């Protein structure tokens, strides 16, 4: 494996190597310029050369004091040249396969007459005498069957689906659209005793779609085609009386704010009113609060008395907080309740050595990451806030009563930073916890040591590391610094003169000795 020095040297050589413009690309660009000006001249329009000469004359003097219109004309000219160069570059690229990953983020490129869309289509439609480019759209986001009334105006899932099929079918979607409409009609008017026509139109829709799209899953990785996945049924989510009371309070508050459709938010995010920033209801509430209206007071009262918000008193006192949502209860029971709050990180799947507490507990040993998917922006805020609070609550109450209150003043009192050395060697113990030394990392590589001991038991050998430290016994502390520096490539110039970084400063009482790091081993 190349060292950092080797990579840095090659990068510097690459930067210093003189490079000219690709001759083929240059010739194509010049040809495109001549073709553009030829067409412009035949149609009586100003050529690019004419625009350049006119702008060069106008900008020959007094470039620092130009009105906005002059700057705008110059920018338009530069933009035309860049667009022409981009089109030329596409032809030079000669693409065979174009892949758009998560293509739903680039919907504007699949349609429309904008500059980026036209440029993208010139690449999509590239062809030469041998072949034509193929386009592959990838996405792990399924299309929704319908659009909810409370979703934004831009979210029209059916129209998005139709536009995507038009792109994939090169616009030839007349028969497909007819079959899709007929399929919808027959689903709504289906006769259970006669489904022949429904099945026929369904087959036609499937046949048309299978020509341009497919669904691929990683199933063949195992013999049973399980995709290395195990389905775990957590059972139905529980809905408590307080949950229903909270929904009623949220619905009444939304009604007072002239905001509707709270059912989907309530099902997804607990205590939604605490996390509704950016939503219509939240924006209306902020407006009412700023105006000190009676509506604001009414909404506050409805939410506070109806389990619609997180109780502030309980939050400050680190009291137990009900998740407020059936799905979140399942997630908390599968993570926090199993001891995840006691882990700074997940236990390694293949540990180098036998783990101790709390990683050796049966419930925490099998914990893995959880992915939570939701269409609502409030869900990540709600889930992370409530689960993080519950984890911290268990930490501060592990010995009984909370050690401090959940307010910023008391948090600042207990959140002491890790002390690092200033002008003495007393803080070197803390430094060793963070010290990024490639030399020590290489000598203490558990894989290398594991190959050496071949399964033998006993302490990890420390002789190689001790030998590095012992080199300072001859008084050559500067050499020790050079070998252990994070850069791993010698002592920087600022340290050779004794100035700069206080950790390595060569002043009396602050020299780095072998004993300063001996506790690490």
Q: Are 117 and 85 in contact (CB under 8 A)?
A: no
Per-residue pLDDT of the chain (521 residues), as tens digits, is 456 677 667 777 766 776 677 788 888 888 889 998 999 899 998 898 988 988 888 888 777 777 888 888 888 899 888 888 888 888 778 888 999 888 888 888 887 777 788 888 888 888 888 888 899 998 887 777 777 665 655 667 788 888 888 888 888 888 898 999 999 899 988 888 888 989 999 999 999 999 998 877 666 666 777 766 777 788 888 899 999 999 999 999 999 999 888 998 999 999 999 999 989 899 999 999 999 899 999 999 999 988 889 999 999 999 999 999 999 999 999 899 988 898 888 888 777 778 888 888 877 877 888 888 888 889 999 999 999 999 999 998 988 888 888 888 888 777 666 555 555 555 566 666 677 777 777 777 777 777 766 555 555 555 555 665 555 444 444 454 455 554 444 434 433 434 333 333 333 443 333 333 333 33
pTM score, whole prediction: 0.55
What is the DSSP secondary structure assignment for residue 172, as one 8-state letter? -
- Token pair 């594991």 is found at 450
- Token pair 């003097």 is found at 61
Classify 132 as helix, strand or coil: strand
pLDDT for 328 equals 93
Residues 6+ apart with CB under 8 A from 54: none
Classify 404 as helix, strand or coil: coil
Closest CA to 50 of 42, 41, 59: 41
Q: Are 442 and 488 in contact (CB under 8 A)?
A: no
First-to-last C-alpha distance (Å) of the chain: 27
Q: The tokens of 308 are what?
A: 């619609």
DSSP letters of 40-107?
Answer: HHHTTPPPHHHHHHHHHHHTSS--SS--HHHHHHHHHHHHHHHHHHHHHHHHHH--SEEEEETGGGGH
CA distance 371 to 374: 10
CA distance 104 to 125: 20
pLDDT for 467 equals 61
Q: The tokens of 322 are what?
A: 């009900």
Preceding amide of 358 cis, omega within 30: yes
CA distance 168 to 173: 9
Q: The tokens of 273 are what?
A: 């009113």
């Amino acid at each position: 494996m190349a060292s950092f020095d080797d990579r840095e040297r090659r990068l510097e050589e690459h930067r210093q190597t003189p490079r000219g413009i690709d001759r083929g690309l240059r010739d194509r660009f010049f040809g495109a310029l001549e073709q553009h000006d030829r067409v412009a001249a035949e149609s009586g329009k100003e050529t690019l050369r004419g625009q350049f000469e006119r702008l060069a004359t106008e900008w020959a003097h007094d470039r620092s004091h130009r009105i906005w219109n002059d700057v705008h004309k110059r920018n338009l000219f530069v933009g035309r040249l860049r667009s022409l160069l981009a089109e030329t570059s596409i032809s030079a690229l000669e693409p065979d396969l174009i892949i758009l990953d998560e293509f739903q983020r680039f919907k504007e490129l699949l349609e429309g007459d904008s500059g980026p869309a036209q440029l993208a289509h010139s690449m999509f439609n590239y062809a030469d005498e041998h072949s034509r480019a193929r386009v592959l759209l990838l996405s792990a986001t399924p299309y929704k069957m319908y659009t909810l009334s409370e979703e934004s105006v831009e979210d029209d899932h059916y129209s998005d689906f139709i536009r995507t099929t038009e792109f994939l079918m090169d616009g030839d979607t007349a028969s497909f659209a007819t079959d899709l409409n007929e399929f919808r009609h027959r689903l709504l008017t289906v006769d259970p005793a006669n489904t022949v026509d429904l099945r026929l139109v369904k087959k036609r829709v499937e046949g048309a779609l299978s020509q341009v799209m497919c669904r691929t899953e990683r199933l063949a990785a195992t013999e049973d085609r399980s995709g290395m996945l195990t389905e775990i049924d957590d059972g139905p989510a529980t809905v408590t009386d307080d949950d229903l009371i909270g929904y009623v309070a949220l619905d009444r508050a939304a009604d007072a704010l002239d905001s509707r459709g709270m059912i989907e938010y309530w099902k997804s995010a607990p205590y939604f009113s605490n996390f509704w920033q950016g939503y219509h209801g939240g924006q209306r509430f902020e407006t009412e609060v700023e105006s000190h209206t009676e509506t604001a007071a009414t909404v506050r009262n409805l939410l506070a008395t109806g389990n619609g918000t997180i109780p502030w008193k309980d939050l400050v006192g680190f009291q137990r907080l009900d998740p407020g949502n059936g799905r979140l209860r399942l997630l908390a029971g599968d993570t926090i309740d199993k001891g995840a709050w006691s882990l700074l990180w997940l236990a390694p799947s293949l540990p180098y050595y036998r783990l101790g507490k709390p990683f050796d507990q049966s419930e925490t040993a099998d914990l893995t990451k959880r992915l939570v998917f939701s269409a609502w922006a409030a869900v990540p805020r709600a889930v992370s806030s409530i689960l993080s609070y519950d984890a911290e609550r268990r930490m501060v109450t592990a010995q009984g009563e909370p050690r401090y209150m959940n307010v910023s003043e008391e948090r600042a009192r207990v959140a002491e930073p890790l002390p690092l050395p200033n002008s003495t060697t007393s803080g070197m113990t803390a430094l060793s916890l963070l010290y990024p030394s490639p030399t020590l990392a290489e000598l203490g590589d558990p894989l290398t040591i594991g190959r050496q001991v071949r399964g033998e038991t006993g302490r990890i050998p420390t002789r190689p590391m001790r030998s590095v430290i012992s080199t300072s016994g001859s008084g050559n502390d500067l050499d020790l610094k050079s070998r252990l520096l994070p850069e791993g490539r010698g002592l920087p110039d600022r340290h050779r003169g004794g100035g700069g970084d206080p950790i390595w400063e060569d002043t009396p009482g602050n020299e780095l000795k072998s004993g300063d790091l001996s506790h690490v081993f």
